[in-house]
Amino acid sequence: MKAKARNADIDISKEFTPEQLKKVDKIIEKFKDRPGALIPVLEEAQMVLEFLPMPILKIIAGGLNLPLSQVYGVVTFYSFFTMTPRGKYTVRVCLGTACYVRGGKAIYDNIKKELNVEEGETTDDRMFTLETVRCIGACGLGPVIFVNDNVHGRLKPAKIKDVLSKYN
């Protein structure tokens, strides 16, 4: 999946407002010619845009006079940066040992099916982003999922639909 996460076709003029794009230019201008500018630029740009698709990374690479390969390497290395849009809600499924043995995998599979996404992906309506975690310290409630800051414990695959339908 990761190979496909190019977002090359995204039209940034539709995705972002002219103000947002202007802000990115200003961020580049601010850090330009400073050593080690790349990470702060990416960080601030993501604050403005929420995600960093290929055309934005090209603008940053061009602005800082860095090879696109280097920018891409940094963006994929740090889990903080994302090249795909995030959903309104982030669903984190615990696959730590306790949740796993209590059926976490089945919960996870069911959510993937329900949302029709793989790990790290966002639904087309940009409502949900799916992630997995290894233990969130709620083993007594396992299997658990987090939806943004809410914990849902003692889940069964059949209950997934109900849980997700609360979020809209």
Partner 1 sequence: MSLVNLTIDNIKVAVEPGTTILEAARKVGITIPTLCASTELGHTPGACRVCLVEVQGQRGLTASCVFPVWEGMVVRTTTEAVRNARRMVVELLLSNHPAECNYCIRNANCELQKVAEYTGVRELRFAIPTMSKEDAIDESSPSVVRDTRKCINCHRCVTVCAQVQTVSVLTPSFRGSSTTVAPPFDLPLMETNCTGCGQCINVCPVGALYEKDDIDKVWKALQDPTKHVVVQAAPAVRVQLGEEFGMPVGSLVTGKLIAALRKLGFHKVFDTNFTADLTIIEEGNELLKRVKEGGTLPMITSCSPGWIKFCEHFYPDLIPHLSTCKSPQMMFGALAKTYYAEISGIDPKDIVSVSIMPCTAKKFEAQRPEMCSSGFRDVDYVLTTRELGRMIKQAGIEFVGLADEEYDAPMGEYTGAATIFGTTGGVMEAALRTVYAVVTGENLGDLNVTPVRGLEGVKAATLTVGDLGPVSVAVAHGLANARTVLDQIREGKSPYAFIEVMCCAGGCIGGGGAPHPTTNDVRKRRAAGLYKDDGTVQKYRQSHESPSVKKLYEVFLKEPLGHKSHKLLHTHYVNRGTELPHKEKGPAVCKPAKKGAGH
Q: Give the binding site for partner 1 (CB under 8 A).
A: 2-3, 6, 8, 54, 57-58, 67-73, 76-77, 79
Distance between CA atoms of 118 and 1, rounded to whole angstroms? 8
Choose between 61 and 138: whose C-beta lies nearer to partner 1: 61
CB of 6 to partner 1, least distance (A): 4
Give min distance, CB of 164 to partner 1, in A: 28
Our CB check for partner 1 shows the closer of 79 and 165 to be: 79
| Residues 82, 51: Cα–Cα separation, whole Å | 5
Least CB distance to partner 1 at residue 28 (A): 17
Q: How far is CA 151 from each of CA 60, 70, 86, rounded to the nearest angstrom?
A: 38, 38, 19
C-beta closer to partner 1: residue 69 or 165: 69
For residues 83, 128, 91, 55, the Cα torsion angle rounded to the nearest 10 degrees is 0
Segment holding 93, helix H or strand E: strand 89-94
- Distance between CA atoms of residues 166 and 16, nearest Å: 29
Which residue, 7 or 110, has its beta carbon nearer to partner 1?
Answer: 7
CB of 47 to partner 1, least distance (A): 22
